[in-house]
């Protein structure tokens, strides 16, 4: 294997992230994984069809079962958490059992939350197979499910025991989901690393062609940045909020479209342009910078506006975002391309009028 | 007020326990509590009838609502967790909201778990009103609910932000529940403090008469011991297991009686005698010590055996206890009255034959 390895430094809960091509077939990766004797592999029907059998083959010395869930955001529900808990009980899982989350963000969030709740927390390993999960959701320990009244309202901070990212799994990922993952890649560069953003401007085509070296570089850069943020602020008391760049707008888009029609990453893509635009309107960055963000998002195959959506509905949805405290609007804005900050003093009228330029 | 105050030392998550008579009516207690502007008081119909209105009166400057659940162990379910989550959403609770658990162990475990899951964890305050909750379950952060296939299979470690123990609330506690709480008091003394056990031998009548000074002393001694154990081993990797003295037997009794007929504390009472008996059979303590434990448990109004139960069924139930790792029997035994240890090498045949003497 040729891979990258890095660590999330969380003291006793420190864990390793391996990134590379072909890792799922690498015996060294499997022998190093901290697994209990009892393993439940949680996957979805699509991903499972490609990889579940191969994973179980690697675990022939363990007591391994597969629990497959339907693909899609609607699976992130308490009903499916309960089914995983039932499967763990059926499997005789004790405190030393391990859950493997094999799939995209939905599977990781769902399986991670079930592992967090079972016997007040058992170990889980993330094997993310979508770009979005590989660059963002599999690292950092946020787990949870949706409630009828809002996304991710129910959940836990529960760090994985290890993360294994095999870039080969991206070969079966649909184009629009690859683009959705690229939104989080652009987000990560914008909030923390201007040079990485320049690299993205030059290598977006290679990424969309799924060039393995380009993918491995982008994924490890994102994981390294996120690992640093999470190690410094695991529970999102401060710096970790920066990872929500573009997400307040993005969540509002998802909310008013009832989580249909837009992928999460697509909404984040448009949200990044909106965040850059608001940053420029407040004088933090130059109009040219907004154009660079817009071009990067477009070159990833992502929407750069929210035509046909109602600006007032978006503003209203934002007021219900759980990131708001005491009803005050809190936005992540850009000080430069590669440096984000938390703004508590956004003028609601300016926000609404800027947002209107992206709608109709 | 005349009260005791102590702290659970968990770094950033350090919290205070106040113990005394009349604390719920003490403005100083309320003004010192770390509460958000939005408060949901979770209580049961019995406890709520006595104290919910008084609590809300004290919170007239907050946005306070009461969520009342049916009393009894069957309320510790995912269905009731979901209803509390719905109530939090209805109440507009954000990350700075606080859940107050006002009631016994069921309410504390249920409300604490809902607080742990909501937005990946919001603050909660324990106001335990049963002796069992005051001396044991309200301190230490174990929260959770039952599954059809076993007790406390679903849960989280989520420490409260504060614990307020008003011994006056014990005046409305039924006698059998007072006795059930005394089982945990005896347990705590037996595992950690021989002098406290001697004090209990001399003061059991005063406790059963609900003498306020005796109760406050016993409760603060238990909380202090538990706070120390939890601070040293929050996640039960070692020392905290000692708090399960008598519980492996007790859980088996509860299990074979389908959680009906025996209160948890009653099962623990008999379990303490069984643990002492097994300790003597292995030569750790003297037969006289077993008699002292038996007398203390009996004087608390608790059962000291398990007549009519089937010894083999108890053994079989123990094999399914979640505390077992790799199917190996792990018992907490006594080295002396006031000092417990973890035994990994209990002979199953000896355990079965000793257990048989407690049954038929």
Q: Give the pLDDT score at B297.
A: 98
Query: Closest-CA residue in chain B for A156?
Result: B120
CB contact under 8 A, A116 and B142: no
CB contact under 8 A, A117 and B156: yes
Q: Is the pLDDT of residue B325 over 70?
A: no
CB contact under 8 A, B89 and A118: no
Q: Give the pLDDT score at B151.
A: 83
Query: From the CA of B302, how many Å to the nearest CA of chain A?
Result: 29
Q: Does B13 touch chain A (CB under 8 A)?
A: no
Q: What is the mean pLDDT of residues A221-243?
A: 95
Say if residues A207 and A215 touch (Cβ distance below 8 Å): yes
Q: What is the mean pLDDT of chain A?
A: 94
Radius of gyration of chain B (CA): 20
pLDDT per residue over B188-214, tens digit each?
999 999 999 999 999 999 999 999 999
Interface contacts (A, B; CB < 8 Å) = 80
Annotated active-site residue B328? The verdict is no
CB contact under 8 A, B95 and A322: yes
Q: Does A202 touch chain B (CB under 8 A)?
A: no
User: What count of Cα atoms within 13 Å lies in the side-chain half-sphere of residue A208?
Assistant: 18
Annotated active-site residue B251? The verdict is yes
The pair of structure tokens assigned to B199 is: 């004090």
Say if residues B271 and B320 touch (Cβ distance below 8 Å): no
Determine the Cα–Cα distance for residues B360 and B353; give it in Å rounded to an integer.
Answer: 12
Annotated active-site residue B45? The verdict is no
Q: Is the pLDDT of residue A342 over 80?
A: yes
Annotated active-site residue B142? The verdict is yes
| Residue with the two structure tokens 């529900």 | A77
pLDDT per residue over A8-32, tens digit each?
999 989 999 999 999 999 999 999 9
CB contact under 8 A, A154 and B85: yes
CB contact under 8 A, B156 and A325: no
Contacts of B144 in chain A (CB under 8 A): 117, 120
Q: Does B118 touch chain A (CB under 8 A)?
A: yes
Q: What is the mean pLDDT of residues B170-177?
A: 95
CB contact under 8 A, A89 and B150: yes
Annotated active-site residue B232? The verdict is no
Helices (H), chain A: 27-32, 45-58, 78-90, 105-117, 131-132, 175-192, 194-208, 212-232, 247-256, 264-281, 287-299, 311-319, 348-356
Q: Which residues pair with B99 in a beta bridge?
A: B40, B124
CB contact under 8 A, A37 and B326: yes
Share of chain A above pLDDT 70, in %: 97
Handedness of CA A329, A331, A335, A341 (dihedral sign): positive
pLDDT per residue over B265-305, tens digit each?
999 999 999 999 999 999 999 999 999 999 999 999 999 99
Kindly state the helix (H) or strand (E) to which residue B256 belongs, with its residue range: helix B247-256
CB contact under 8 A, B153 and A89: yes
Radius of gyration of chain A (CA): 20
Contacts of B154 in chain A (CB under 8 A): 85, 117-118
Q: Which residues pair with B65 in a beta bridge?
A: B40
Task: Give the 3-state secondary structure of residue B142.
Answer: strand
Q: Give the pLDDT score at A296.
A: 98
Q: Does A199 touch chain B (CB under 8 A)?
A: no
Catalytic residue among B67, B264, B282, B294: B264
Q: Is the pLDDT of residue A213 over 90?
A: yes
pLDDT per residue over A113-147, tens digit each?
999 999 999 999 999 999 999 999 999 999 999 98
CB contact under 8 A, A120 and B155: yes
Q: Give the pLDDT score at B1.
A: 46
Which of B118, B153, B324 shows the shortest C-beta gap to A118?
Answer: B153
Q: Give the pLDDT score at A326.
A: 52
pLDDT per residue over A47-103, tens digit each?
999 999 999 999 999 999 999 999 998 999 999 999 999 999 999 999 999 999 999
Q: Give the pLDDT score at B326.
A: 52
Provide the pLDDT confidence category of residue B360 given band limits of 50, 70 and 90.
confident
Minimum mean pLDDT among A148-157, A290-299, B155-164, B214-223: which range? A148-157
Which of A96, A144, A156 shows the shortest C-beta gap to B156?
Answer: A156
Active site residues of A: 120, 142, 184, 226, 236, 240, 244, 247, 251, 264
pLDDT per residue over B61-110, tens digit each?
999 999 999 999 899 999 999 999 999 999 999 999 999 999 999 999 99
Q: Give the pLDDT score at A1.
A: 46
Pairing of strands A123-128, A162-166: parallel
CB contact under 8 A, B325 and A94: yes
Q: Does B260 touch chain A (CB under 8 A)?
A: no
| Residue with the two structure tokens 């008084």 | B54
Q: What is the mean pLDDT of residues A256-269?
A: 90
Instruction: Output DSSP code: residue A200.
Output: H
Instruction: Output DSSP code: residue B325.
Output: B
Q: Does B87 touch chain A (CB under 8 A)?
A: no
Contacts of B78 in chain A (CB under 8 A): 78, 82
Say if residues B30 and B64 touch (Cβ distance below 8 Å): no
Kindly state the helix (H) or strand (E) to which residue B335 belongs, with its residue range: strand B331-336
Say if residues A126 and A142 touch (Cβ distance below 8 Å): no
Q: Give the pLDDT score at B22.
A: 94
Query: From the CA of A286, how many Å to the nearest CA of chain B?
Result: 34
Task: Give the 3-state secondary structure of residue A259.
Answer: coil
Contacts of B85 in chain A (CB under 8 A): 147, 153-154
Q: Pick left, alpha or beta for residue A168 (phi over 0 → left; psi -120 to 50 → alpha; otherwise beta).
A: alpha
Best of B85, B115, B120, B322 to substitute, by most chain A Cβ atoms within 10 angstroms, is B120
């Amino acid at each position: 294997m040729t891979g990258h390895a890095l660590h999330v430094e969380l003291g006793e809960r420190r864990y390793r992230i391996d990134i590379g091509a072909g890792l799922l077939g690498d015996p060294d990766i499997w022998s190093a994984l901290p697994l209990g004797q009892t393993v439940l592999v949680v996957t979805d029907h699509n991903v499972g069809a490609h990889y579940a059998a191969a994973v179980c083959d690697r675990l022939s010395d363990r007591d391994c079962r597969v629990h497959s869930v339907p693909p899609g955001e609607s699976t992130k529900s308490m009903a499916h958490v309960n089914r995983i808990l039932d499967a763990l009980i059926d499997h005789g899982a004790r405190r030393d059992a391990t859950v493997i989350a094999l799939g995209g963000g939905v599977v990781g969030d769902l399986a991670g939350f079930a592992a967090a709740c079972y016997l007040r927390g058992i170990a889980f390993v993330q094997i993310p197979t979508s770009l979005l999960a590989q660059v963002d959701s599999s690292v950092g320990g946020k787990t949870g499910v949706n409630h009828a009244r809002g996304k991710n309202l129910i959940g836990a901070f529960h760090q994985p025991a290890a993360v294994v990212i095999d870039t080969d799994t991206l070969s079966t990922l649909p184009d629009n989901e690859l683009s959705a993952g690229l939104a989080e890649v652009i987000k990560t560069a914008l909030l923390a690393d201007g040079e990485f953003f320049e690299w993205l401007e030059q290598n977006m085509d290679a990424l969309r062609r799924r060039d393995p070296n380009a993918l491995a570089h982008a994924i490890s850069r994102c994981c390294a940045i996120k690992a640093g943020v999470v190690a410094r602020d695991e529970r999102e008391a401060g710096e970790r909020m920066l990872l929500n760049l573009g997400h307040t707008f993005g969540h509002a888009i998802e909310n008013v479209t009832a989580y249909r029609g837009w992928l999460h990453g697509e909404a984040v893509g448009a949200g990044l342009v909106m965040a850059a635009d608001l940053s420029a309107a407040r004088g933090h960055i130059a109009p040219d910078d907004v154009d660079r963000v817009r071009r990067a998002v477009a070159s990833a195959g992502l929407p750069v506006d929210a035509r046909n959506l109602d600006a007032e509905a978006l503003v209203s949805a934002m007021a219900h975002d759980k990131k708001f405290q005491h009803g005050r609007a809190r936005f992540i804005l850009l000080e430069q391309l590669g440096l984000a900050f938390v703004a508590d003093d956004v003028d609601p009228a300016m926000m609404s009028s800027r947002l209107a330029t992206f709608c109709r």
